[in-house]
Structure 1
Amino acid sequence: MTSVVRRAAPTIVLAFLAAIAGVFIGGWIRAPGAAHGTELHTLLHRDVVLDAPQEAALDRLEAEFAVRRAALEAELRADNVRLAAAIEREHANGPAVAAAVDRSHRTMGALQKATLAHVFAMRGVMRADQTAAFDRVVVQALTPAH
């Protein structure tokens, strides 16, 4: 291996890893939150007959969750900026990179937990005769189509 290639290899590898991380995190932030939320509501309205008070309660829950989700998504974007800065500083999988990744993972976990809390709050709005259909809708929304 020539000295030029040897010197460029770590930078190329880091750029590739940063790109992969960015694609993964960006896709996770944009696609699941929006697609699954929209799909869940579409399926819910298709498969569960809701009365007016339930619709109003779900609208309130959705508005509250939208604020929480937006805050966590903004935090994830900030985590990505910190990760990029750490990669740029260390040019290796050093302590700052590892800390930035850990922080990002904590934020992703918080978003997933908040999403689940939201789904279960929605389930709490359902009557006993609606919960089985709601559960099917949630599973369908979370399961990729074959």
Structure 2
Amino acid sequence: MGALFARRGVFLLLVVMLGFCAAFAGAWAGRRVLAPEPPMESRFHTLIHHDLALDAGQQARIAALETRYEAQRAQTDAAMRADNRQLAEAIRTEHGYGPRVAGAVDRSHQAMGLLQKQTLQHLFAMRAVLRADQAARFDAAMVEALTAPTR
């Protein structure tokens, strides 16, 4: 009788271990297959700071460019938030697509366009720091980012 319980115990232990292994394998496969691609900003950051093998001078120049861009971006983000508040107020007041809403939308689009221009200027300023071989990889990554299908 004791041998029967021992076999059941071993069998139960094997089933539990097999279940754990299957769950672990499923979670691992799900993360590998179904995990979203990192955002383009992260991929550019990885490219610039890890994949391009920048020398110390390049790193310092790019760090200065990034500091300047972050300050500029913070100002533009604040302006966009203010534009959104104005748009919300116009919607609350007009309850439709009236002249205040249209004006607020136009101001919001101007701020978004400014952010896009500032971002491109920042990217090209960083590109100017790169050697020709690094710039070619940078260009390829930028073209990929602009032409990749959206999900």
- Name the CA distance, whole Å, in 2 between partners of 1:43 and 1:145: 21
Match in the other structure for 1:57:
61
Match in the other structure for 2:86:
82
Q: What RMSD, in angstroms, separates the aligned Cα atoms of the two structures? A: 1.8
Displacement of 1:128 after TM fit?
1.9
Match in the other structure for 2:117:
113
Q: Is the 8 A contact 1:40 1:141 kept in 2?
A: no
Displacement of 1:140 after TM fit?
3.8
In our comparison, the structure showing a higher alpha carbon Rg is 2
Higher RCO (C-alpha 8 Å, min separation 6): 1
Residues 144 and 71 (structure 1), Cα distance of their counterparts in 2 relative to 1, 3 Å cut:
farther
Q: 3-state SS of the aligned residue for 1:126?
A: coil
Q: Which runs of 5+ in 2 are unaligned?
A: 1-38
Q: TM-score, normalised by structure 2?
A: 0.68
Length, aligned pairs only: 112
Displacement of 1:50 after TM fit?
0.7
Q: Which runs of 5+ in 1 are unaligned?
A: 1-34
Report Cα offsets for 1:63-118 as digits up to 9, x if no partner. Answer: 00000011101111110000000001111100000000000000000000000000
Name the % identity.
53
Q: How does 1:1-146 map to 2 (within 5 A)?
A: 35-142=39-146, 143=148
Residues 136 and 80 (structure 1), Cα distance of their counterparts in 2 relative to 1, 3 Å cut:
same
Residues 38 and 103 (structure 1), Cα distance of their counterparts in 2 relative to 1, 3 Å cut:
same
Runs of 4+ in 1 over 4 A off after TM superposition: none
